Amino acid sequence: MAKRSKSKATSVQTTSATQKSSKKSSSVSAKKSRAKSEPISADDPLRLRVRSALALDAESGTLLYEKDADKQIAPASLTKILTLYIVQEAIEQGKLSPDDQVRVSSRAANASGSVMDLYTGERVSVRELMKGMAIASANDGCVAIAEHMAGDVDSFVRIMNRKARTLGMLRTTFKTPNGLPADGQVTTARDMAKLARAYLKRFPQALEMHATRNYFHNRRNHQNANRLLGEFEGADGLKTGFVNASGYNIIATAKRGDKRIIAVTLGSTSSGIRKRETSRLLETAFVQVGKPATGLAQAKAPQAVAANDDEEILPSRDERPEAQGGGLVGRQNKPSQPVLQVPAKGRYTIQDSSYRSAENARARQECLRATGVPARVVATRGEDKWYRVLIGRYTSVQEAEATRRKLAQDYGLANTIIVQ
């Protein structure tokens, strides 16, 4: 469980009165003035379960919320937004074409963590590499484009750091083009918000890639890890990331009417908590700018969430966007048959098995995924914890039963049950 930060998160609108006056009466008056325009108070009723967070209006840059926004944390795959920025800038300047063919080196093909399954000697277009990076969080794609553009990875990283300084990212240092773990590679929520705002302002067309939920390359389906897509009203980007040093990170963006919000949360303890806390932050920001959720998506005013969750989704080893250890080695196991397509929404699910040990549950999850069954591991609440291996989410028992029969007939899984 993430520890609550000792420092308070605040909405920031500095007034000249608080800067120039040291008198108590002036300070009180200034506070009352700010309170009228700041729905989030200094007491921070959101109490986000993240290490760092920030939200702003994408158009004006107005800061709507921050919590430890200058704390330095490993960026993980959020790094890829700067890599994509540099690629699209080169295209805009005529130095690169989306149709240019990139030859994949053995170093790129052997990248660890999330990949788009490039192989040594393959020739792939810049356009496909961009999709792979944006949608599949392709670490191999980042290495391939870095080598193509700069000759080698180290030279490309130097370009990244120069660009970061140009964008005002003064507390960020990059060591890799993809966010794989590296000593000294750090960023802040504020710097990532600056990057996201500049990226979307200059390359708004990039959202078409970032809003895409699936990407196919080399006969494999790669899913976008951004679980806000299709579930949070107006969400259409931007990038998730995970490494052990940081926890679960995200740069999220959503648009309602003429208002676009950029929200950054760093250091969630699970992908489920990342989704929930970022949703709360986005909704609060939209309420501030007068664009609350509408229709069936109407949200109540965000409330503090209890420390314990009913369920917490655990990452599998091959699900982590960045493999630990930092080496550009290793591969994900490919399924032995086509991946079973299952729905992702609903109150019912199929349980394959349950374990006392998280390690055993993950091992079972990997076995299922190796045969094409997209399983997930979920931990129950409380001290008497079980780790359940689940498949899909379904809106009805009938829908779940149809999948359960298919699992028995095509995948040899005859002992699954339907649960809520």
What per-residue confidence (pLDDT) applies to 25? 40
Average pLDDT over residues 304-325: 43
Between the alpha carbon of residue 300 and those of residues 11, 185, 284, 353, 383, the distances in Å are 20, 38, 10, 36, 31
Listed residue (109, 113, 77) closest to 332, CA to CA: 113
C-alpha distances out from residue 233 to 292, 296, 384, 417, Å: 10, 10, 36, 32
Of residues 29 and 325, more confidently modeled:
29
**Which residue range(s) make up the domain with 93?**
76-297
| Amino acid, res. 63 | L
Residues labelled as active-site residues: 77, 80, 137
Question: In this model, does residue 92 exceed pLDDT 80?
Answer: yes
Instruction: Work out the average pLDDT over 53-58.
Output: 97
Same domain, 139 and 247: yes
Whether residue 176 sits in one domain with residue 83: yes
Can you tell me whether residue 406 is helix, strand or coil? helix
- Shared-domain flag, residues 267 and 124: yes
3-class state of residue 289 by DSSP: coil
Which pLDDT score is estimated for 68? 96
Least confident of 122-136, 298-312, 388-402: 298-312
Counting the structural domains of the chain, the total is 2
| Cα–Cα dist 270/283, whole Å | 20
Is the domain of 289 the same as that of 387?
Answer: no
- Dump pLDDT digits (tens) for 77-91: 999 999 999 999 999
- Residue 277 three-state SS: helix
CATH code of 396's domain: 3.30.70.1070
Q: Nearest 5°: phi and psi at 240? A: -105, 170
* Whether the model pTM is above 0.75: no
pLDDT band at 197 (very low <50, low <70, confident <90, very high): very high
Domain end among 297, 314, 344: 297
% of the chain at pLDDT higher than 70: 79
